[in-house]
Amino acid sequence: MSAFRKSTLREYFESIVVAVILALFIRTFVVQAFKIPTGSMEQNLLIGDHLLVNKFVFSPTATGAERSILPVTSIKRGDVIVFKYPEDPERDFIKRVIGLPGDVVEVRHKRIYIDGRPLDEPYVYYLRPPSDVASPFGVGDLREQYGPVTVPPSEYFVMGDNRDNSQDSRYWGFLPRGLVKGRALVIYWSYESEDDEGYATGGRTGTRRFWSVITRFFTHTRWERLLQPIR
């Protein structure tokens, strides 16, 4: 008796189903693409950077054996994370972890203090220099003075690297652990966009628009940022 052989159509169908399942699994549990929409993380992350977010790294583990085998870790100070915005969980935000549970966080003249000690932040960026320590300027301005506050259990204090242009924990409070989606891993593409309103009109033919798109892809891609790890 001849061996059973799958039809070519069925083999293609099964391959597509498996590929879709794997893609959905990876999208749901492992990695997610994310685009930087604002300048709150400049100069580290720029508007138009496209990132891959590791969603698996902060997954919960039940035993010590799982923690020793699986590539998971706890959230650390300095991690750049993507999370659901507490005031609108349908939106994703990206910020840097500054305060861990139990930390006392304070901002003095734009400088961060953790438990009374200044935090070294080589990544930080200011649109305007901090006020002089002896000056009363900035009192009441959350960009200059904030806290001290104690981070509650299972929550985090997060801030944008661009301290003068970031809606973060100074304005909406602490970030619950359950809203964290993952850690930003790498920039896979970066595109410097511009106003396209005049580009799509102006009487250009379809062919000319097509080649303009191709040209713009090469001229507006920030090639030096491709595959840049996020720190």
Distance from CA of residue 147 to its chain's centroid?
A: 25
Task: Give the tokens for residue 189.
Answer: 């593409």
Sheet containing 104-108: order of strands: 117-118, 111-114, 104-108, 145-150
Contact 51, 186 (CB under 8 A): yes
- Say how many Å lie between the first and final Cα of the chain, rounded: 62
Write the single-letter amino acid at 204: R
Residue 2 falls in the annotated catalytic set: no
- Which listed residue (6, 7, 35, 40) is catalytic? 40
Please, what sign has the CA dihedral across residues 38, 42, 47, 49?
negative
CA–CA dist 67, 145 (Å, integer): 39
- Which listed residue (95, 110, 169, 190) is catalytic? 95
Contact 153, 101 (CB under 8 A): yes
Residue 84 falls in the annotated catalytic set: no
Residues assigned a catalytic role: 40, 95
